[in-house]
Structure 1
């Protein structure tokens, strides 16, 4: 009995460590020219995956943001990221009665200076091992579009071109040392 209890405790400890290594997870957004324009921080929460976005250099106004199926962010068009993350084969759109994709998110709003900050929730995704994991296979990506997602139109809400991409992988930012949206003094100290 003691051996079974010890084995169960070990399994729980190891699986808890696995979740700790995956959350929070930080990644950088790059534009089509390859410039770092911001960050995304993903955190496992009881209600899903929290996504904190901080980017600059966008046109003022609303922009669609979605999780895409591959962790490939090859500019300038980011087509390499594939389609929306959609493990349940649903229709696109947060307002669609037959949707939404697991990777559909509310629009983000860039202010007059082109800065956008948002805290979003992916309620149908996880960072843990499962079919709905954003880290399954080689991972996924977050893609920002040039326009607004209308919440209904197939396959991507009529949201325009893909203008920025961030890989969602365990090692996405291993070599990153600065955030372009922070004051220059702070960036210099981190190098």
Structure 2
């Protein structure tokens, strides 16, 4: 995605670097909802970058390129594909080491998706029911902990871009963060990157005239 031009020197520029297409779609949808709820003073400039199987070194060249374009904060979200804390910690450490050498680690937030971004979706049962058009069976939600993609495919009649867009419309960040620690970490870090909320008496982007 080509970064948008900066509207003002005070504008926040935030980049999200994700694994592939479904993460790109869902992370962008959720990030925009977090931003709208936070109501920052000015609309931030966002770049959503999908690596599409690029080797890990692609993360660092992407961060360097966007840093040169005046992006101030970077979110790297990756599917952990495991629930082992030891293995996740090892992957995080491996990603951080080059960033520390580049002196960019303080500008980067790493978000492991444990085990994948489907867990964020499954955390919002109300959104799933609305997208599926029917109540969710208890056994499906229990199975979602170990087979999240399989369960979403069964509930929604597929798990491609069409179904992902449909469920993304209904996802509520507050419901998800109450049930998923990794999403809460993501939302808190994004709110911090956006800066303080406007004063009650001051206007914010998206507010009524």
TM-score normalised by L of structure 2: 0.25
Larger proportion of helix: 2
TM-score normalised by L of structure 1: 0.27
Larger proportion of strand: 1
Higher relative contact order (CA 8 A, sep 6+): 2
